[in-house]
Amino acid sequence: MADAENLAKFAASEAKMRADGLPEAAILAFKHSYMQWASGATGMIAEADITPASDVPALSDLRTTITQNPELLSQTVVLKLNGGLGTSMGLDFAKSLLQVKGKDTFLDLTAKQVIAMRKKFKANVRFILMNSFSTSDDTMEYLAKYPDIVSDPDLEFVQNKVPKIDAATMLPGSWAKNPKNEWCPPGHGDLYAALEGSGTLDKLLAAGVKYMFVSNSDNLGATLDLDLLTYFAEKDLSFMMECCERTVNDKKGGHLAVRTSDGNLILREAAQCADEDESAFQDISKHRFFNTNNLWVRLDKLKEEINKAGGFIPLPMIRNAKTIDPKDDTSTKVIQLETAMGAAIECFAGAGAVCVPKERFAPVKKCSDLLMLRSDCYTVTPDSRLVLSPGIEVAPELAIDAKKYKLVQALEAALTLGTPSLKACTKLKVDGYVYFSRRNVLQGTVTIVNSSKEPKVLPPGTYSNCTVDLSAAPSLGALLAVKVPTAPIADQKPGTSGLRKKTKEFMEGSYLQNFVQATFSTVKASGADMADKTLVIGGDGRYFNPTAIQTIVKMAVANGVNHIAIGQGGLLSTPAVSAEIRERGPSYMKAFGGFILTASHNPGGPDEDFGIKYNVENGGPAPEGVTGAIYDATTTIGEFHICPDFPDIDLDTCGTTKVESTCGSAVVTVEVIDAVESHVELLKSVFDFDTIKTQLLSRGDFSMVYDCMHGVQGPYARAVFVDELGLGESCLLNAVPKDDFNGHHADPNLTYAVDLVKAMGLDKTGLPVETEAEPPSFGAAADGDADRNMICGSKFFVTPSDSLAILAEKANCVPFFRDYGGLKAVARSMPTSGAVDRVAAKHNLALFETPTGWKYFGNLMDSKDLFGGADFTPLICGEESFGTGSNHIREKDGLWAVLFWLQILAAANPDASQPLVSVQALVEKHWEEYGRNYYTRYDYEGVDKTKAEGMFEAMRATTAQAVGKSFGAFTVATADDFTYLDPVDGSVSKKQGLRFLMACGSRVIFRLSGTAGSGATVRMYLEKYEPDAAKTKQVTAEVMGELVAFALQLSDIKAHTGVDGPTVIT
């Protein structure tokens, strides 16, 4: 009866697992554990029911009798368990991504071990990973740096997951706040179910693989040993466990034993030991051998046992009482049922064990283990194994304060100044929180005490057989970091250009602090050298920038940043930040990344928008993997770190501020730098300023005006056009940065750049109007953060798509391209018109169509240097949203585009005695040769986000039905939701825009923008190609009228959103 009731309750767990797509093998294995627990089994193994294991052969003895058999390698696979997040150590990413020695993570060393193993044995020994649903993406992305390994299509299979069980109801736990918390990993005993359920076991057997060596990814001592493989095969064992002699450091690990009832070898884990048996469990003289979790398995025998048991391996259950939210002790009490893979030793007839030296066991379970491996106690062998350093026979006993050093973050902070020397230490005990440095040498038995409430730094020196009390020692003073409790804030997900919200939202509570801490945590986890390299900070000068910068500085110091560079006045344009990160030198001053405080073209002010984005070490926007990790961190954040006593920095004066800790152990350097210098010097290396000045700007019939729209571009424009090129101040409009952009929308388009549009003799549709005086020959505008540009001639507007095509056509006018062998490739965002495609076809240039977002262009630029792929540089890229750039930096660059046009005009006008070849003449000549891509964009701003998303879902659901639909001269040939396969890193970006492609080559595209501060922006793009040169000078609105009407019919935007018309037409 009880079994029937338990089965009925299990049905809910089974249904949940099936609904999530888990395989039959996983369900059967979990059912076995569930029924054991539900029937009252505790999973405990009593001391009275076992006897100590004995007569375990030693590998050192076996080596003298074994003749290695290399032919076995072709039948062998090496498997690493890589499913752990290391949550007990405070990690929320794959534990194997933790740096363990120098800059190398566990994954780095594992990959290098595999490469060394293949080289040593002159064989392509199979290697696979068992990842979990939590580690798969991070792991596979990280391993991209090892193409010989990641290219294997069978490199990974994914561990299963099982429901957490409500302790009160025995049903699956439910947690609406975060449904991910309803699941847990089933322990590494899931290896067998995952091998079977994923089909990996059958694939291996079909390939003739007979032997499998398994170990944990955090055990870098476990490599394929040909002696052990040969012994395993010759003894015809079905299963073999590697054991080590237990020491005091291993007394809590699972040990090998013999079950009295049947004489079988079994594994007893700490969780299977009752309190009354704990002393016997930890008696290392009685139970001498502990399980290293290095296992050898005969795969054909494994398959036999799975079939015999009905589809799974019947492992003993381990019961863990938890709360459903591990960070909330008040949340629902649950039971997590797990199994251990080593426990399978009792399931195999003909199982055995072998005692191996401690060098094959070097895992990291707690921070003291990590400290040990990072110290000079261990060294990395040529084949990337971690072994005890020469002269050390036994590792020192480390007893560092378990509460103070429970989390990796605490250890990282304590080792900011370096890792102490421990190779001559026999025992280290630390009570309290102590910071070390590379100038600490510990010998013999050393005890360090700090009973104060704040961390203290151990002064440099040698400490031998002594006790050191730091309780009354000087503190860190202004460099003392404090942890401030916080909680996740909804919807802090960065868009293509960072996180943008209303300014007041950023100013409330810990909104800014949460996002900044999530970013620092993510960047630190990625392995960035935050301690020795520089953090760059700057922004577009909008309201709240100065306050936000002071907060970021204090948080940066608390997170271990020792060198900070800030633009004078808190100003740095987005392209200047990219240039500063890339060009900063010498090497010891190189930047690891930077914060840009901007909402780009969005309005500024206390009631308008604020934004923040992070750029990585190549100077470009954080890639999707990083922004995704930042967002994930915001959803679980529980505290942020800040140095509240760190002094505010004078942002208005260039100079260096050094802040030293009271104890003299650390110094932080903050440099306020000239915001303009680096970027202008870079642009001078790209363009020929002398030619621009002498062939164009000196002409009496040429004049220009540049509208900086009260954004950050003003100082840069003045430095280039006034100081370098010698023009008068009158060439600049709105060149004084203001925190609200003087109440305007700093967006360089025909609607918002009203001063430039008026000066150039245009209306807001781009058509010419009558003017009292002849407009300037050339005009341009920049947005708030200076990365966008609008180009005009006298009474003539150049569309961004045409501008991109002409820059590509005339690239050889620019030394940067001409002197490096010419342009190799062009790239455009998908919504941008195909005008540049025709240039690429004529000049045999590589062409890429990407999603909107500069990070996709950055990948192409870094294909060779970062990914070992093809070299696509020099490269020009652009977006229809007034953004263009090249590989000189990793952002779009408004000033670069303006100078490029001036360089083209200079090249087109070599003879001052001839009439000026104008912007309009250049564009119309281009149309004569290539035809014209008539193009327009409708922006619907401030749309209710839910309604906008509903409209897109409705269109997405009917794309198939749209094919064949006609309206006037247009018929839909294909319709889809644009998906991009990155040719550089292999990543896939889905739902990047709805495309309706007409049979005549015209296009209608819809995108939902996520970078507005409030509401949503629906963008509708329309393109019609005209090859007839005689028809290239028509009015765009007249040409596009019918296509606009069709697009409105396709989207039914008014019915879905309630908006009557577009906010902006470009």
Q: How many CB atoms lie within 10 A of CB 899?
A: 23
Query: How far are the Cα atoms of 106, 170, 194, 314 from residue 190, in angstroms, in the given order?
Result: 22, 21, 6, 11
Q: How many CB atoms lie within 10 A of CB 605?
A: 17
| Coil, strand or helix at 811 | helix
All residues at 6 or more sequence positions from 724 whose CB lies less than 8 Å from its CB, including other chains: 680, 684, 689
Q: How many CB atoms lie within 10 A of CB 58?
A: 13
Q: Please check whether residue 749 is in contact with residue 1066, taking contact to mean a CB–CB distance below 8 angstroms.
A: yes
The residue assigned the tokens 């009685």 is 286
Catalytic residue among 33, 600, 678, 863, which?
600
Query: Has 521 been annotated as catalytic?
Result: no
Q: How many CB atoms lie within 10 A of CB 844?
A: 7
Q: Please check whether residue 271 is in contact with residue 320, taking contact to mean a CB–CB distance below 8 angstroms.
A: yes
Query: How many contiguous H segments (helices) and E segments (strands) does the chain have?
Result: 33, 52
* DSSP string for residues in 847-859: EEEE-SSHHHHHH
> Which among 307, 295, 289 has a CA at the least distance from the CA of 28?
307
Torsion angle of the four alpha carbons 359, 364, 369, 372, in this order, in degrees rounded to the nearest 10 = 50
CA distance 26 to 189: 11
The residue assigned the tokens 């990641």 is 150
* Residues facing residue 781 across a β-bridge: 707, 790
CA distance 359 to 654: 54
Task: Identify whether 575 is preceded by a cis peptide bond (ω within 30 of 0).
Answer: no
Query: How far are the Cα atoms of 150, 500, 852 from residue 492, in angstroms, in the given order?
Result: 32, 9, 20
Q: Please check whether residue 575 is in contact with residue 893, taking contact to mean a CB–CB distance below 8 angstroms.
A: yes
All residues at 6 or more sequence positions from 701 whose CB lies less than 8 Å from its CB, including other chains: 777, 915, 916
Task: Identify whether 70 is preceded by a cis peptide bond (ω within 30 of 0).
Answer: no
CA distance 475 to 131: 43
Strands (E), 381-420: 386-388, 397-400
Question: Sheet harboring 333-338: ordered strands across?
Answer: 165-166, 333-338, 318-323
Length of the chain: 1066
The alpha-helical segments, DSSP class H, found in 39-75 are 59-62
> Which among 750, 756, 515, 749 has a CA at the least distance from the CA of 635?
515
Q: SS3 for 562-624, per residue? A: CEEEEEEEEECCHHHHHHHHHHCCCHHHCEEEEEEECCCCCCCCCCCEEEEEEECCCCCECCH
Strand duo 667-673 + 563-571: pairing: parallel
**What would the two tokens of residue 361 be?**
């066991």
Q: Please check whether residue 622 is in contact with residue 615, taking contact to mean a CB–CB distance below 8 angstroms.
A: yes
Question: Sheet harboring 534-539: ordered strands across?
Answer: 499-502, 609-615, 591-597, 534-539, 563-571, 667-673, 655-660
Question: Annotated catalytic sites, by residue?
Answer: 600
